[in-house]
A = this chain, B = another copy of it.
Amino acid sequence: MTTHQHSVVIQTRGRGSLEITSQVTAVIHTSTIRTGIAHVFVQHTSCSLMITENADPAVRRDLETLAKRWAPDGDRGYQHDNEGDDDMAAHARSVLTGSSVSVPVGAGELMLGTWQGIYIWEHRTSPHGRTVVVTVTGE
């Protein structure tokens, strides 16, 4: 059993999701691990990580539509709005969708289903550099 850890900085383009499956796979390939778990973690509270459909980009547009209902920008109920209308909405979306994903590794590859991809979901409207820590544990 061994652990392999590597951080990657992802430059987002403002609100929206970007696939990072290939970056996670690259970390697994630089390790000797064949069977185990790949854990992916984002060190920020206004973006998140998710696994979703990798075929039709309309899925991720529709997720934005729903996220606006789950955590509206500039809601009058919010007390925290230091950094603008998208500030509290971003924290809430981060809590709802989570700061990490973890995927089994088998035969030295991510065991994702055919239609699954790993995405970073930027919830702020402006672009940010986001640090993602990938930790692979296994043998």
Contact = CB atoms under 8 A, between A and B. Distances in A.
Contacts of A22: none
B94 A52 contact: yes
Contacts of A115: 44-45
A52 to B, nearest CB: 5
A53 B94 CA distance: 10
Interface string A99-114: 1111110100001111
A37 interface: yes
Given A3-B35, A35-B3, A62 B88 contact: yes
Interface of A: 1-3, 5, 35-37, 39, 41-45, 50-53, 56, 58-59, 61-63, 65-66, 70-71, 77-80, 82, 88, 91-92, 94-104, 106, 111-116, 131, 133, 135, 137-139
